[in-house]
Amino acid sequence: MPKRDLVLLALDDSTILQLMQRALRAASYETAAASDRTALNMIIQETVPALIMLGEQFDGLPGGKLAREILERFPTMPILIYTERESLLLYKEIVQAGLSGCLYPPLRNDDITGSVERSLQRARNLGDWLRREVKRTTASLERRATMSESELKRYEFIFANIQDGVIILDEDGRIQLSNRAMELAFDLPGKQTRGKLVSEVIRHPDIDSLLKRARDLPLKYHEINFDDGRIYNAQYTPIGGFGSVITMQDISYLKQLDRMKNEFVHTISHDLRSPLTSVLGYTELIQRVGSLNGQQIEFLDRIRSSVESITSLVNELLDLSRLEAGFDTRRELVHLENILKFALDTMEGQFKVNSLTLHLDIGKDLPELRGNPIRLRQLLDNLITNAVKYSSRGSTISVSLQSEDNQIIFRVADQGIGIPQSEHVRIFEKFYRASNVPDQVGGSGLGLAIVKSIVDSHQGRIWVESTMGKGSIFFVVLPAHSPDKFSVASDLNN
């Protein structure tokens, strides 16, 4: 036999209470009566009735107020209010509070059971609808969860098979995920690396310096060299609020191509040098062996100046290939400020001719650095000459040399033509000249490539900040000499 619905009656008037009990029981409902508010709460808590019939006043409190309190705890509970007389105000309260309805005399059995039945039916419908909605939402969530699981698998598969090495780190530098290419490159034991610090797992000096650089500068590229000849280009990308990603591409074949190209350029430059020297020699000799007319002298001058500019290009090329081949091993302790002062002295004429003002700022007690003084002079010369070359007449060039955190910082700022933002990296490439260089300003596009090679061979960094039409600032940061490193470095170089 199905369980019968329990109707809880909370009425002060005992005659009405009995009347209702009789009518409901006759219609096969179970009933319970609450004598006061405490009993009412207790019965609701323990039995959870199917419906509550509340007097308009019960135990000294308005039925409407009690009904609201009950609905706060049991929002779907059907509640009927019994009132002695019909009133518009009560109807309003019933609608506002979301109650099921009200009953008032004259009370016939049918009125009582009819109201209770209708309220229960409404509550059942509401319950059914709620259950259907919950089921529908759950099913859709389940569908979404399975979908994202399969999607996740798909992404995992793609991630694992990316040809470039990828490693994802959290904000503390702990490994979250790495793919097969990365694991193969560093011979990592797959999933066991998860949660470990990248510096613990990958012990490679180039990765260490990439991470070290990453702390100081935005978007970093770095070459990772392996003993077996492989070379990777690694990129460090911070991802705000999550951590960072290191990606690596194998560029060994590009490096090989580069080497072949360099060797080719070196051979050609080398072979050109002797004929050029002899052309220059003969231009000198021609004038000594007989008299020339004015036009012949002018033509000879043009030949000489053209040959000189080709010779300087060839010399720059040879210089660069020597630097790139790593032949620049000479190292001694130098005071960069002395080299800078010397360089500026010899450039005084250039400043004067272009009516440029020099603003010089050299820090006190600068530390020494270990380097090749001739190459460092070339570095300073090239950068300052560029500042002069690309400045407008009458402007100011500011040169500064400072030290900070065991580093020497050289900075040259001009108020010249500037460099387009998209070309800031490219200007350090061989032969690259920015798109805004005026036609009449000559150059080979090799000066900065030479500077970059010198900076690299001194374990330094170089970058430019520039605004078109306003000027450029070139920064060079070189490590200062630290005595404890000296013995190792000198052993290596000797």
Interface stretch with ligand ADP, choices 122-130, 232-240, 347-355, 417-425 (CB under 6 A): 417-425
Q: How far is the CB of 328 from ligand ADP (least distance, A)?
A: 18
Cβ closest to ligand ADP, residue 96 vs residue 306: 306
Nearer to ligand ADP, 336 or 397 (CB): 397
**Which of 210, 234, 419, 454 contacts ligand ADP by CB under 6 A?**
419
Nearer to ligand ADP, 130 or 441 (CB): 441
Nearer to ligand ADP, 83 or 321 (CB): 321
User: Quick check: 317 binds ligand ADP (CB under 6 A)?
Assistant: no
417 near ligand ADP, judged by CB under 6 A: yes
Among 43, 390, 458, 461, interactor with ligand ADP by CB under 6 A: 390
Cβ(112)–Cβ(103) below 8 Å: yes
Does 414 contact ligand ADP by CB under 6 A? yes
Q: Smaller CB distance to ligand ADP: residue 115 or 472?
A: 472
If the CB atoms of residues 272 and 473 are measured against ligand ADP, the closer one turns out to be 473
Find the binding residues for ligand ADP in span 441-470 (CB under 6 A). 443-449
Q: Which of 24, 434 has the CB closer to ligand ADP?
A: 434
What amino acid occupies position 255?
K
Select from 49, 55, 165, 416 the one that contacts ligand ADP (CB under 6 A).
416
Q: How many CB atoms lie within 10 A of CB 321?
A: 19
User: Is residue 386 within the footprint of ligand ADP (CB under 6 A)?
Assistant: yes
Least Cβ distance, residue 464 to ligand ADP (angstroms)? 8
437 scored as a contact of ligand ADP (CB under 6 A):
yes
Q: Is position 434 an interface residue for ligand ADP (rule: CB under 6 A)? A: yes
Instruction: Name the nearest CA neighbour of 185 among 236, 239, 252.
Output: 252
Report if residue 472 touches ligand ADP, rule: CB under 6 A: yes
User: Which residues in this chain contact ligand ADP in the complex, by CB under 6 A?
Assistant: 382, 386-387, 390, 414, 416-419, 427, 432-434, 437, 443-449, 472
